[in-house]
Amino acid sequence: MSFFEIKKKHSNSRARLGVLNTAHGKVNTPAFTPIGTKATVKVVTSEELKFWKAEMILANTYHLWLRPGDTLIYKAGGLHKFMAWDGPILTDSGGFQVFSLAKGDRRYAGIKEGKPAFNVKVTEAGVSFQAGEDGSRHCLTPEKSIQIQSNLGSDIALMLDDVPGFPTDKAHIKKSLGVTKQWAERAKRQHEKIMKSSINLEQKLYGIIQGGFYKDLRLQSVAEMSEIGFDGYAIGGVSVGEPEEKMLKVLDWTVPEMEDDKPRHLLGVGTPGQIVRAVAKGLDTFDCVIPTRNARHGQLFINAKLGKGYKTINIRQKKFEKDFEAPDNTCDCYLCAHHTLAYLRHLFVSGEMLGIRLATMHNLKFYLNLMEKIRRAIKYESFDKMVKGYKERKR
């Protein structure tokens, strides 16, 4: 049984229906993988995720390395056992953390004044930085990232990549692409080397396509990654602050040149509208913090009453104070089955954590249901109709 099987290709777009076969079960694609950075999809249990039919989750190499440490997780029997999730796990390499920490964005973690809490240096060897947890110095290399992911025992590992922000001039992207290519080769070599002693002998490795928002560099990256040869490919360097159109352009350039029989992951994307479009452009799997983070911030995704698509609401608004309707009566989540807008608002305004939990459950279900609808639409050849006009609406 091969790792990736394509079950059906949609006739009017690049969308395809497939299955990822991993040591911990299969993933029906197109799929959304909830983000569980620190070995937890914030606020929900593994059992709940299973119940909602989330098939794969994403965890983070960087965070788990620093705390509690990959060797500790190895001793616990691997990440699956450690967090009691027996389904497939995709681990991000830590490349994105280098990008976001180096930015020193002061909006994070209540840091309002002063210098970035991190001192990040990217060299060809790897990334050295000071950790925010305790100020200790660390160095992450492509080999180290693979070693950590091997200790975690994830089903799909990602190579460490260099993520340029937006906007970045072409010369820098070009240089960065050279670093990423070199790291790809080293990651591949290291993965082959330690595979036989890995906690998960069937762990797959994905290459990451970079190249900023320049067509020739993206195509160059696709070619370089294919040449090295990976089990699958992720498109990275998007959702870094660029306009949506630029992100979609990258997909138009790269996908036709990518190996057709390998799975394609789109890193960090996105809104429901973006995911639907990306599927049409040939992407298979997605991960994004939007459903979980925005839920904690009081934003809920709701199916649109008029037309196709969805709308978002902020549950804290006073207008929901006496609204005794379910947030979305077309939704089958726990929140919508049992509670009213008024109750959820009350929980948020009171700072009660159940509010955050219910909102998270709802948004995850919204995303998972969306993927289910996409898969069904591809299956029944109605996907192009679904894509057309699927967007965020006012009501």
Annotated binding residues for Zn(2+), as ranges?
A: 331, 333, 336, 362
| Integer Cα distance of 163 and 212 in angstroms | 9
What φ, ψ does residue 211 adopt, rounded to 5°? 120, 10
d(CA 372, CA 28): 9
With CB under 7 A as the contact rule, the residue among 100, 182, 220, 382 that binds RNA is: 100
Q: Which is nearer to RNA, 2 or 136 (CB)?
A: 136
* DSSP assignment string, 61-121: HHHHHHTT-HHHHHHTT-HHHHHT--S-EEEE-SHHHHHHHHHT-TTGGG--SSS-S---E
Catalytic member of 70, 162, 231, 287: 287
Binding residues: 92-96, 161, 210, 237, 331, 333, 336, 362
Which residue of 47, 105, 332, 381 would you call a contact of RNA, by CB under 7 A?
A: 105
How many residues touch RNA under the rule CB under 7 A: the total is 66
Q: Which CB sits closer to RNA, 130 or 382?
A: 130
Residue 392 interacting with RNA (CB under 7 A): no
Does the annotation mark 92 as catalytic?
Answer: yes
Q: Which residues contact 211 (CB under 8 A, 6 or more apart)?
A: 173, 177, 217, 218, 219, 220, 221, 237, 250
Considering the rule CB under 7 A, would residue 240 count as an interface residue with RNA? yes
Instruction: Based on the shown chain and the rule CB under 7 A, indicate whether residue 268 belongs to the binding site for RNA.
Output: yes
The verdict on 50 binding RNA (CB under 7 A) reads no
**What proportions of the chain, in percent to the nearest 5, are helix, strand and coil?**
40, 20, 40
CB 288 within 8 A of CB 377: no
CB of 124 to RNA, least distance (A): 17
Please, what is the minimum distance in Å from the beta carbon of residue 11 to RNA? 28
Q: What single letter denotes the amino acid at residue 34?
A: P
Catalytic choice (92, 162, 231, 328): 92
Element (H, E) at 309: none
Site for RNA, rule CB under 7 A: 35, 37, 41-42, 58, 60, 63, 92-93, 95-97, 99-101, 103-105, 107-112, 116-118, 132, 158, 161, 163, 208, 234, 236-241, 244, 267-271, 274, 287-290, 292-294, 296-299, 314, 316-319, 349, 351, 353, 356
Catalytic annotation, residues? 92, 287
